Amino acid sequence: MSAEAAAAALAGFSGLAPRSLRRLLDVLAPSDAWELAVRGQLGEVVELRQGRAREVAERLSGVDPDAVAASCAASDINVLVHGTRAYSAALSDDPEAPAVLFARGQPLARIDELRRVAIVGTRSATAAGRATAHDLGHDLSANGVAVVSGLAIGVDGAAHRGALDGGGLAVAVLAHGLDRCYPERHRHLFEQMCADHVVLSEWPPGVGPEPWRFPLRNRIIAGLAEVVVVVESRVTGGSLITARAALDRGVDVLVVPGSPQMPASEGTNMLLRDGAGVVTDVDDVLTALGISHDGCRGVAPVRPPGPPGSDASPHGDVVAALADGPATLDTLAARTMHSVADVACAVSDLVGAGLVVAEGGWVELAMSRLSGQHPS
């Protein structure tokens, strides 16, 4: 039984909290820790009642470490133990660094070579929020900054796609085993990340995405980041957990501000109220990192289309009216004082230009909220 096999088997055992496993492997080699655990003697090293230690031993008796290691190898998953050279130096000094990391893709040394920014936000992001996360991920990546996030739908996935489009390194931290993709709609993105970027987890193959694992995942995102950027967040959710974990570590938290009328901006505006920095473009993030901007930016803004020579076009009014959030055609007509027919024509033009999206009778902005950018 190799050290990696023993470490992988222990990491998959839900009877040991991450902190307990870290304490255990900080004082014992993985193989020795495994032998102690299966003999029911864990209480000699970590705080565990004798009865609980015997229960752990009984449950581990049905686990084959070599089979766990074989499962990792079958999915090209590397097993990295805290304190070894292969473990990420960027994360190794974190007080809550996982005892074991499972990794796919590029060696973790790639993370250590680069500056790192986490981009996080709500799964139920607006189209504008997704565009903002994409453009920010793109510009940071184009400037040689690794983009860290959680591969969730909404802000996370958009940030990762932006990083890939920018040509730099993307780092995903997942809340389940790396033998599966979650959410399934990110299958193509997940496979790209596993092939050419870095995908991490503290859980071995076979572990599913149970809700309680996601808050634990967020501490790893915060631990890897030098700056955390929150694009959109509701008043509860994982992005605020990540922000709090970053603040606990002395990591700067920056926020993309949003309209007070939008639920997706309630959490971010609360962070602003409490002293977080503001992000209006990539320069704000690069400045927080202490590096200068080299001129790599997203594409230039597109002016909303309208009839040539007409100052009465509703296009600009529609865009301005959507700043406070999604609206129906009737609501837009009332806000802009244009007819429903004119507003409908304007929305059609704006959809064609990629500036708004219209689904299920609702219209919302698709423009990035970074200054001087729009969705590519």
Q: What is the CATH number of domain 109-289?
A: 3.40.50.450
**H or E element in which residue 99 lies:** none
pLDDT of residue 293: 59
pLDDT of residue 194: 97
pTM of the model as a whole:
0.83
DSSP string, 180-229: S-SSGGGHHHHHHHHHHSEEEESS-TT----TTHHHHHHHHHHHH-SEEE
pLDDT of residue 297: 42
What distance in Å separates the CA atoms of residue 42 and residue 44, rounded to the nearest whole number? 5
Run means of pLDDT, 10 residues per run, the chain, 376 residues: 93 82 90 88 72 79 92 96 92 94 94 96 92 95 96 96 96 97 96 97 95 95 97 91 96 92 89 93 94 50 40 79 84 88 88 84 82 52
CA 47 from centroid of its chain's CA atoms: 33
Task: Name the CATH topology of 299-376.
Answer: Arc Repressor Mutant, subunit A (1.10.10)
